[in-house]
Amino acid sequence: MPKPNPRHPNYPIPGGDVLRAKGWRQEALLRLLENVLSVGEDPDNLIVYAALGKAARNWAAHRAIVKALTDMDEDQTLVIQSGKPVGLLKTHAKAPLVIMANCNIVGQWAKAEVFYELQRKGLICWGGLTAGAWQYIGSQGVIQGTYEIFMRIAEKRFDGSLAGRFILTAGLGGMGGAQPLAGRMAGAAILCVDIDPARAAARKAVGYLEHVASDLDTALAMIDEAVKAKRATSIGLVGNAAEIYPEIARRGIVPDIVTDQTSAHDLVYGYVPKGMNLDQVKGLRDDGQGQLMAASRASIVEHVSAMLEFQERGSEVFDNGNLIRTQAREGGVANAFDIPIFTEAYLRPLFARAIGPFRWMALSGEESDIARIDDLVMDMFPDNKIVTNWIRLARENVPFEGLPARIAWLGHGERTELALAVNKLVASGEIKGPIAFSRDHLDAGAMAHPNIMTERMKDGSDAIADWPLLDAMLLCSSMADLVVVHSGGGGYAGYMTSCGVTLVADGTEAATERLSHALTNDTSLGVIRYADAGYDESFDEIEEKQIGYVRIGNT
Ligand code: NAD
């Protein structure tokens, strides 16, 4: 039975053992589509997260997708073009059930203004990364990533602990909403600024954010008190980051860590310029795009200038993947890229081993299925400290949103082993229903994003988008259930290409084959991508795990 959804009552959380589709694979994808809306930011407009990331092009397309998933046989493939189903074709039972291409615009045309025009004509939509691929699981999807960044900074700068440390950030939206909980789990006192009171209230309601302060003075006093007591806490503040950051700097306060996760990538549908309220911004989205873009960029200039000032005074400042430095540089902040990107600064050695955000969703809707897999992970990987520490913390601290789900940073071999073990538990009935696996698009072989994922690669291959395309073809050849190629939309147009994949462990022998090939090949390509760029960790991984890398040279 579906479960009620207090945040969005019209979008119940899927679950139960009654199938509407002809098999569990199809039913799984249908439930994942329902799930991204149940945990999304604005489901009535099909918007899931990241300002404009949509689950489907429009409601007619959505209805057609639901009908196709419900009616289709296992030997058919549903073809989706930017959120609109365009073909239901006969393939074979080992082929993907769904393939998608989302928002891929030819190079010279891949610009925000062209995207908005194509969107206005109803020809395209942006799928975010995980929205259009029906893989989004709410703020919990990035929570370990955000936590690991904070812990890497703790190791690098603060003797391994963030107790008594002040993190300043902004953005309490779909992904940014993970920050207060990740900061608190890392032991810090974190202040999160958001212009929209409804977003702060939503994070508080689900337990990701502890308090919402009435004004800046109160917020800073609460942070000060927690820092002195070395007590972890999360404080929300309703305000514009382009005003609050400079004001904190003006008062001479130097946070230990500063970042930002507003939707700065999109100057029209994401970032809210200083001096405007949300209604004014909405009013300008159709007819005042130029004005809005200029105003957003001017505010981002002030926002990033304050971040640079904090950096100069000693804060650890980083870009958390929202293109804010790029927007600021285009607005004239020549040194915006003095701020490092989180991938290069803290996580690249993990990506070089294809360790990244891997996730699983209990299609039964039962939390006990996730609890059983938590135990399994602890048993299977006792020596993997990142993962065991995370599972312990997540069990205690991370409330479920939508379908019960878990994310953990696992690498090559580990993902396959876990998925196969889970498939056996599904087969034996120890787990109540099938489990879907996916991973973030921000994964070793899956993303080309020269200002985020692949910035300053060792060999200068930052902008080469062959890797995600190869990944997608490899995953189709490896029998994955859903494969997607996404490129950036809105402000991300022209900035990125990524590949996503979903697999369903339904307890069958066929699932064993799919999981084994697809998950192993996906991370193999990730390791190969980094080996090709010259990372030593990747060569170690290739040796240790016998990955089929083709070396060219004098060997
Ligand atoms: P979202 O659109 O759901 O939320 C953005 C939030 O920013 C909203 O709550 C909005 O009110 C707030 N905001 C906008 N302008 C503001 C301003 N001037 N001052 C204060 N608050 C402001 O977006 P999201 O899903 O939370 O994603 C945020 C950004 O992070 C996006 O750019 C997204 O692409 C990026 N992202 C990064 C990663 C990563 O791995 N690092 C992952 C996912 C998303």
Per-residue HEC secondary structure of 275-337 comes to CCCHHHHHHHHHHCHHHHHHHHHHHHHHHHHHHHHHHHCCCEECECCCCHHHHHHHCCCCCHH
**Residue 374 exposed, middle or buried by CB count within 10 Å (0-12, 13-18, 19+):** middle
Question: What's the confidence (pLDDT) of residue 252?
Answer: 98
Counting ligand 1 atoms within 8 A of each CB, the residue from 196, 260, 261, 440 with the most, and so the one to mutate, is: 261
Quote the ligand 1 centre to 148 CA distance (angstroms).
19
Portion of the chain with pLDDT greater than 70, in percent: 100
To the nearest 10 degrees (0 to 180), the angle between helices 143-157 and 385-397 is: 120
Q: Is 202 in the pocket of ligand 1 (CB under 6 A)?
A: no
> Any alpha helices (H) in 2-88, and if so which ranges?
24-38, 59-71
CATH 3.20.20.480 applies to domain 1-8+21-138+354-546: no
CATH architecture type of domain 140-346: 3-Layer(aba) Sandwich (3.40)
Tell me the pTM. 0.96
3-state secondary structure of 229: coil
Q: Is 47 in the pocket of ligand 1 (CB under 6 A)?
A: no
Instruction: Work out the pLDDT band at 553, boundaries 50, 70, 90.
Output: confident
Both tokens assigned to 124: 């395209």
| β-pair type (316-317, 233-238) | unpaired
Quote the ligand 1 centre to 270 CA distance (angstroms).
7
> Any alpha helices (H) in 232-271, and if so which ranges?
241-250
The answer on pLDDT for 334 being more than 70 is yes
Q: Is 412 in the pocket of ligand 1 (CB under 6 A)?
A: no
Both tokens assigned to 166: 């002040």
Both tokens assigned to 338: 């003095």
* Per-residue pLDDT tens over the stretch 199-223: 999 999 999 999 999 999 999 999 9
Q: What's the chain's average pLDDT?
A: 97
| 490 carries a ligand binding annotation | yes
CA torsion 177-395-183-399 (nearest 10°) is: 20
In whole angstroms, give the CA distance from residue 252 to residue 241.
17
Both tokens assigned to 479: 């029998």
Q: 76: which residues sit within 8 A by CB, 6+ positions away? A: 88, 89, 90, 91, 97
Q: Give backbone dihedrals phi and psi of 491, rounded to 5 degrees, phi first.
A: -65, -15
DSSP string, 477-514: HTT-SEEEEEE--GGGTTT-EEEEEEEEE-SSHHHHHH
Quote the ligand 1 centre to 262 CA distance (angstroms).
3
The answer on pLDDT for 128 being more than 80 is yes
3-state secondary structure of 48: strand
Q: Is 172 in the pocket of ligand 1 (CB under 6 A)?
A: yes
* Per-residue pLDDT tens over the stretch 387-419: 999 999 999 999 999 999 999 999 999 999 999
Q: Which residues of 7-38 are buried (b: 16+ CB within 10 A; e: fewer)?
A: bbeebbbbbeeeeebebbbbbbbbbbbbbbbb
Quote the ligand 1 centre to 433 CA distance (angstroms).
33
Question: What's the confidence (pLDDT) of residue 30?
Answer: 98
Both tokens assigned to 113: 């203004």
DSSP string, 427-486: HHTSSSS-EEEEE-SSSTTTEE-TTTTTTT-TTS-TT--HHHHHHHHHHHHTT-SEEEEE
Portion of the chain with pLDDT greater than 90, in percent: 98
In whole angstroms, give the CA distance from residue 543 to residue 459.
21
Minimum-distance ligand 1 atom for the alpha carbon of 177: 26
Counting ligand 1 atoms within 8 A of each CB, the residue from 45, 136, 142, 263 with the most, and so the one to mutate, is: 263
| 21 carries a ligand binding annotation | no
Q: Is 50 in the pocket of ligand 1 (CB under 6 A)?
A: yes
Q: 400: which residues sit within 8 A by CB, 6+ positions away? A: 140, 367, 370
Q: Tell me which residue has its CA closest to atom 42 in ligand 1.
A: 175
Smallest CA-to-CA distance from 392 within 413, 411, 410, 371 is with: 371
Q: Is 49 in the pocket of ligand 1 (CB under 6 A)?
A: yes
| 139 carries a ligand binding annotation | no
Q: Which single residue is written with the structure tokens 């070793």?
A: 444
Question: What's the confidence (pLDDT) of residue 1?
Answer: 86
From residue 542, alpha-carbon distances to 526, 528, 537 in Å are 11, 8, 9
* Per-residue pLDDT tens over the stretch 462-483: 999 999 999 999 999 999 999 9
Both tokens assigned to 424: 């056996």
Angle at 422 between CA 98 and CA 395, to 5 degrees: 105
Q: Is 199 in the pocket of ligand 1 (CB under 6 A)?
A: yes
The number of beta carbons lying within 10 Å of the beta carbon of residue 161 is 14
Q: Is 170 in the pocket of ligand 1 (CB under 6 A)?
A: yes
Q: Is 265 in the pocket of ligand 1 (CB under 6 A)?
A: yes
Smallest CA-to-CA distance from 47 within 202, 174, 203, 197 is with: 174
CA R_g for the chain: 22
Domain ranges of the chain: 1-8+21-138+354-546, 140-346
Q: Is 281 in the pocket of ligand 1 (CB under 6 A)?
A: no
| β-pair type (53-54, 47-49) | antiparallel
Instruction: Work out the pLDDT band at 554, boundaries 50, 70, 90.
Output: low
